[in-house]
Structure 1
């Protein structure tokens, strides 16, 4: 899922009073103190830190988890935590409100470029804190990974553990693969997919042979690195192994992909109304409405009922490390204690397990092989604390036992190895700043919105519409956008 950005220059005071009653859709969990002992025998009352978190599943038991965390936090760190879960659908709106006041201390930076948070003055610089942190914390991330959450050479956030790399695979219905005796081991290229789709279409004309990955997005990426720009206005092709910024429509990677999908679309293999689709490819396949879809994958096991064939080997885009990271609000009243808590979430097994998995025996049970499962009769969607299913949204899940559904009791060790095995874009850590050419950039976004998704799903002919799109992009000012991206990238690579 991709995702995750923002950073900060100097602590800048924002007006604090306008937030209180404005924030809707949050799940604030009041702080409870479980015991009188405080960290390091301190006589001071524990400081309360508000930890804002992303909510995908149900967290109605967050209070129970918070209470158990505070028993540890008070004793070891003289800190109390308040867990504030924010719905995924209202994340940007609600976190922008939280960042205006002093109630937010720590939060994941997600859905907005890190450079935007920094330009807005919303984040605390972390260089001094990091320099004084302990060796265990410093050993977690490599210099390349740490560079990925710096802006103008300054550290504003700490990346979290998830798949930095993606492999691009064809996900297929296990039932249909077995029925038609499809040899998935022979499916390794776009060309190899064609006869498989033809076979499925002939045997099951009532079924979509291929559907978008999610909604109207046929595939979330491929071989081109947008340099932190998900409108893809100026990219590095070839998995970012070149340093020349190009118009994505003119790259060989894009032309090959769209040429193939257009052939599939014309043959009737791809959902005809792909651009108005609102379902995920996964749900369409699992529910028997479709045979296949592309997906950007990690090392996690595919969902039950599907099998996969890898088409593009794992690689890491330039902004992967900053796509989801954790920072401290510049308006935090307790920055020192916030850093203490943030560091603990990356190094304290007990705290990380409580925060992510919940309370043992209530929200999960341990298995003999080192993994965990939901209690009998409970699933990710019915659990009253859904953190284990969204491990990728927390600071450092490697400290916790994985859910059995992830496919291996060593899932997190394998995830780290998966990330390290991937090709990394030459621009890793680069963040594009388009503020000096806002008008041209916005005009180009409008053109990309018109053509990019339609070309990806094959519904329009690339031979005809790529030249048309190029002409409109040129009129919109794409040359200026690409020139600025190139200039910024050249400077970044020189100073890297």
Structure 2
């Protein structure tokens, strides 16, 4: 960036801030002070700036090593004799944007990674970033405390609590005007329908993470066993339940000591099929046909749930399903590679992020991918209503989504220290570094907690062209008729809690076939009614009707 470009950038920032302050009707004196500050920075820049550079091209992204976090000195872009530029920014004088997110990965070296990120942010937006990482088990509680505090957080990852609840409680900033000024950088990565899913009463309160927004329902089948049986697998077609039945039966005849079908996770046989729950993981009221009927009914009346459960009951009685599945504690992802099981159903599948040559399973699709109502509000990033720097917070947030250098740093840490780029253009742990001893491993463990995992190198475990595969996959998904509507149980807390307790007793047990379908379904239905299911369904229907009316 040359001197004149930098001055233009600053003037554009002034213009943007001017619009914002006029909209907020802030006193002219505050605006004059802000413009005076930018003028001083502009004067300093015009005297000192000879160049700054940070490529947006992720093919050339390189974080470099950690250095003094107080001063930024960048080589002049395009300087043929390699002389170092004399641009310097005192980091300690810049506003700090505080961000909260969660991870299950190592982040001991987060300070060094942030120092590299802040070199970029200092030049791009005139601010630095301070990240607070939290464990996944306590994250929701900590975020609630931060959002009710006095400027304790600016940018926050949202998960586990309905967006409407945060917005209704006044915890989040309305991002509508910020987004409307420059939507294109976000639309490059996100379909507008997913962004609009983060609106509450027409106002935008968050930006969805760039992840998969649709899932298919499939069967993970043990690849080694299938290959050993000499079966040719067409994993591009839609498989029928009869075909799955025959495949499992043949596997158990060939390998009599294995489990045929094991649960999706623990004792949860299969999360759901093609009925929408409006983000309610206890399914107290569902909408059939991918959420397109507009009518909330009891899951005990849902034809797809009933028919699937009846089929599983027959398979269970044939011995094709793990007989003690309701006390299982292992995941399919450990049992199949270990040769203990042949297959498992999965309702949360997408283009396989482990489809390498040594993958341990085939994916056999039984229902095509679809986007549920809550798909874009499961994981989002918003700005706290009590942020003391909302303008800068949004500017930083935009960089977290759109700047490839920053996305790579957030995902994998510092190149050469934490990761290396393979000949195939994928990120892998640096030489001598493992996921266990790495000081920063977020992108290898749970990149989905970050704003835009697709704007970085794909992981070494990813399928080739994973980013393109995933975006095309979502583009062709069936979309829920209730896309963006997420149930808030606040008005029916007592009834909902009672129904959840009933759900946990019967829902998965019936789906697994381990209980008689007809008689257990009757008991399930009666106990839900007694717990107040009708009240919950009426509330869910009212919320859906209001959402559709305002859509």
With the shorter chain as reference, the TM-score category is: 0.7 to 0.9
Aligned residue among 153, 163, 173 for 2:202: 153
Number of the residue aligned with 2:105: 57
User: C-alpha displacement at 1:89, in angstroms?
Assistant: 2.6
1:107-132 CA deviation, whole Å, 9 max, x = no partner? 21112222222233322221122223
Match for residue 292 of structure 1 among 339, 343, 352:
343
Deviates more, 1:435-444 or 1:63-72: 435-444
- Which of 128, 140, 162 is 1:113 aligned to? 162
2:341 is paired with a residue whose SS is coil
Contact 1:265 1:457 in 2 (8 A): yes
Change (3 A) 1:36 1:359: closer
Structure 2 residue 136 is matched with structure 1 residue 88:
yes
Residue 405 (structure 2) aligns with: 350
Residue in structure 2 matched with residue 3 of structure 1 by the alignment:
none
Secondary structure in 2 matching 1:314: strand
TM-score (norm 1): 0.88
**CA distance, structure 2, for counterparts of residue 442 and residue 262 of structure 1:** 28
Q: Which runs of 5+ in 1 are unaligned?
A: 1-30
User: 1 CA distance for matches of 2:197 and 2:372?
Assistant: 11
Shift, 1:379, TM fit: 4.4
Partner of 1:169: 218
1:387-398 map, 5 Å: 387-389=442-444, 390-398=446-454
State the partner residue of 2:120: 72
Two-structure CA RMSD over aligned residues (Å)? 2.5
Distance 1:252 1:394, change over 3 A: same
Distance in 1 separating the partners of 2:484 and 2:514: 34
Structure-2-length-normalised TM-score: 0.79
Pairwise CA distance, 1:387: 2.4
Closer, same or farther: CA 310–382 of 1 in aligned 2, 3 Å: farther
SS at match of 1:309: strand
Q: Is 2:529 the partner of 1:474?
A: yes
| Larger CA deviation: 446-455 vs 99-108 | 99-108
Instruction: Name the SS for the 1:128 alignment partner.
Output: helix
| Aligned counterpart for 1:129 among listed residues 160, 175, 178 | 178
Deviates more, 1:89-98 or 1:342-351: 89-98
Which residue is 1:18 aligned to?
A: none
* Segment drifting more, 138-147 vs 359-368: 138-147
Partners of 1:33 and 1:71 within 8 A in 2: no
1:239 pairs with 290, 297, 300, which one? 290
Work out the CA distance in 2 between the residues paired with 1:122 and 1:40: 37
Return closer, same or farther for 1:205/1:43 CA change in 2, 3 Å cut-off: closer
The alpha carbon displacement at 1:169 in A equals 1.3
Shift in alpha-carbon separation, 1:491–1:103, aligned structure 2, 3 A: closer
Task: Summarize deviations over 1:248-286 as a string: whole Å, max 9, x none.
Answer: 121121012111212222222222222222221111111
Q: SS in structure 1 opposite 2:370?
A: strand
Q: What SS does the aligned partner of 2:282 have?
A: coil
Task: Name 2:71's counterpart in structure 1.
Answer: 34
The residue that corresponds to 1:323 in the other structure is 378
What secondary structure is seen at the aligned counterpart in 2 of 1:294? Answer: strand
2:542 is aligned, of 484, 487, 493, to 487
Per the TM alignment, residue 143 of structure 1 is displaced from its structure 2 partner at its CA by 3.0
Distance 1:39 1:328, change over 3 A: farther
Deviates more, 1:263-272 or 1:246-255: 263-272
Superposition pairs for residues 66-465 of structure 1, below 5 Å?
66-101=114-149, 102-133=151-182, 135-185=184-234, 188-295=239-346, 296-302=348-354, 304-389=359-444, 390-408=446-464, 410-465=465-520
Distance change in 2, residues 1:162/1:134 (3 Å): closer
Q: Rg: which structure is higher?
A: 2
Shift of 1:398: 2.6
Partner of 2:57: none
Aligned residue in 1 for 2:96? 48
Tell me the number of residue pairs that the alignment of Structure 1 and Structure 2 aligns: 465
Change (3 A) 1:227 1:382: same
Distance in 2 separating the partners of 1:43 and 1:455: 59
Give distance in 1, aligned partners of 2:423 and 2:92.
42
**CA–CA distance in 2 between the matches of 1:449 and 1:231?**
8
State how far apart, in whole Å, the 2-side matches of 1:268 and 1:162 are: 38
Runs of at least 5 residues in structure 2 that lack an aligned partner in the other structure: 1-67, 75-85
1:416-448: CA deviations, max 9, x gaps?
111111000000011223322222222222221
Any idea what the Cα deviations from partners look like across 1:431-479, whole Å, max 9, x if unmatched? 2233222222222222212211111222112111112211222222222
